[in-house]
Amino acid sequence: MAVYPKIAEIIAAALPCEIERVKPDASLIDDLGAQSIDFLDIVFRIERAFKVKIPRGKIVEEARGDLSAAEFDQRGVVSEAGLQRLRAFLSEVPPERFASPLKVADIPRLFTTETFCKIVIRQQRAQSAPADPKPA
């Protein structure tokens, strides 16, 4: 199944909004008006449509990479190192949207349609990757 058209269809159905408004770089919150319940709905629909699991909170966890929690943010505000990591991880998000200071709670405002496409592709690859062989 082609990922982007299905993701766009899911987002349009969940919000709901005209599918023409669901562009690759559209911010779900700022451009399309998504609320927290819509994020839950979108992830839920994506999981069913693509038969993948998207653990809650995984996006921020993956964005952090090998940075510790303390290195990534202090008192709920993303550090410079954390911002650099976020920009690299969310490479599909226009750079001007990474305002500083950025609160951890506001990270979802950066998410675009393409962000979810990348999540799905990553999860599909992870689920299809062969398991590590056990030592003899």
What CA–CA distance (Å, rounded) separates 95 from 100? 11
What CA–CA distance (Å, rounded) separates 122 from 75? 30
Taking every pair of Cα atoms in the chain, the longest distance, rounded to a whole number of angstroms, is 56
Q: Mask 20-39, x = binds another protein (CB under 8 A)?
A: ---------------xxx--
Q: Mask 64-103, x = binds another protein (CB under 8 A)?
A: ----------------------------------------
128 binds another protein (CB under 8 A): no
Supply 98's token pair: 């990474």
What CA–CA distance (Å, rounded) separates 129 from 136? 21
9 binds another protein (CB under 8 A): no
Q: Closer CB to another protein, residue 1 or residue 37?
A: 37
40 alpha carbon, distance to own chain's centre: 12
125 binds another protein (CB under 8 A): no
Count other Cβ atoms within 10 Å, centred on residue 63. Answer: 19
| Interacting residue with another protein among 24, 25, 30, 48 (CB under 8 A) | 48
105 binds another protein (CB under 8 A): no
Q: Which positions lie near another protein, rule CB under 8 A?
A: 13, 16, 35-37, 40-41, 44, 48, 56-57
